[in-house]
């Protein structure tokens, strides 16, 4: 595991974007596993800057997003498809046919999970970007007695609903279930880049990286990954790096 300590959120975003850009430069046809949430927004801004300045080309890149809310259409501003278009895809030259996100509109959960697992199998992930949930979730793999290897249909934890309700008008509008890439797919990614910002993440980041391996902190399984890179800022790393 390598841990990089950034000065602040902007610096964290630059470091994370540099790592992703290096991946694309070394392998233009990279498969990127991508994440939504507040933390990666700055990283995506930095990637867009690199693209606009002519330093980074996404024409052969494929993306596979971690998760999507069930019932939300891609046009819904709260959907993760919309988030990705708005925060990255609309601003770089990735091809629409190379973008993969679970379909929140497919209510046949078995079929959608199977379809997404096929996508991942055909396109092994070179670099998986991850944020860290307040409860230690990665993707929407929530703390539980068991975790799933493959794509699965999950009930969102109350901690996740609480954290994500800021994006919705009312708490009742937050979908209760989602599709998420499974832990096996995340762990099989060649490289994992975990980003966490702010003191609010300090305790859970410490538990994830130094605590016992437990399905109650899904991110703790990342300790087993061979090529885990963590980028945090002063706040999130306060119990880890001095």
CB atoms within 10 A of CB 226: 9
Look up 106 and say whether it is catalytic: no
**CA dist., res. 114 & res. 61, Å (int):** 23
Of 2-10, 19-27, 36-44, 120-128, which part binds ligand PGA (CB under 6 A)? 36-44
Q: β-strand 228-233 against 191-196: which pairing, if any? A: parallel
39 touches ligand PGA (CB under 6 A): yes
Helices (H), the chain: 9-26, 40-52, 80-87, 109-122, 158-164, 183-188, 202-210
135 touches ligand PGA (CB under 6 A): no
Between 41 and 57, name the residue whose CB sits nearer to ligand PGA: 41
Ranked by CB distance to ligand PGA, the top (closest) residue is 37
Between 87 and 100, name the residue whose CB sits nearer to ligand PGA: 87
- Closest C-alpha to 113, from 65, 181, 62: 181
51, 137, 153, 225: the catalytic one is 137
68, 112, 142, 233: the catalytic one is 142
- Provide, rounded to whole angstroms, the least separation between the CB of residue 13 and ligand PGA: 12
* Cβ atoms of 31 and 62 closer than 8 Å: yes
The one-character DSSP state at 3 is: E
Count the site residues for ligand PGA by CB under 6 A: 6
Between 31 and 218, name the residue whose CB sits nearer to ligand PGA: 218
User: Active-site residues: which are they?
Assistant: 67, 135, 137, 142
């Amino acid at each position: 595991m390598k841990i990089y300590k950034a000065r602040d959120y902007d610096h964290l975003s630059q470091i994370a974007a540099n790592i992703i850009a290096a991946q694309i430069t070394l392998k233009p046809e990279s498969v990127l596993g991508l994440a939504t949430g507040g933390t990666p927004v700055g990283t995506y801004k930095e990637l867009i800057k690199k693209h606009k300045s002519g330093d980074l080309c996404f024409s052969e890149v494929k993306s596979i997003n971690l998760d999507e809310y069930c019932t939300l259409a891609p046009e819904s501003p709260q959907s993760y498809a919309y988030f990705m278009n708005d925060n990255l895809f609309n601003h770089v030259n990735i091809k629409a046919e190379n973008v993969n996100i679970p379909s929140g509109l497919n209510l046949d959960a078995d079929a959608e999970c199977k379809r997404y697992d096929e996508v991942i199998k055909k396109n092994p992930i070179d670099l998986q970007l991850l944020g860290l949930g307040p409860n230690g979730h990665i993707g929407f793999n929530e703390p539980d007695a068991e975790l799933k290897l493959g794509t699965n249909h999950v009930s969102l934890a109350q901690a996740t609903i609480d954290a994500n309700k800021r994006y919705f008008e009312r708490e009742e509008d937050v979908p209760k279930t989602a599709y998420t890439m499974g832990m096996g797919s995340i762990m099989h990614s060649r490289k994992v880049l975990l980003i966490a910002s702010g003191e609010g993440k300090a305790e859970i980041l410490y538990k994830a990286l130094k605590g016992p391996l437990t399905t109650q902190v899904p991110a703790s399984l990342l300790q087993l990954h061979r090529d885990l890179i963590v980028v945090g800022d002063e706040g999130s790393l306060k119990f880890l790096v001095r």
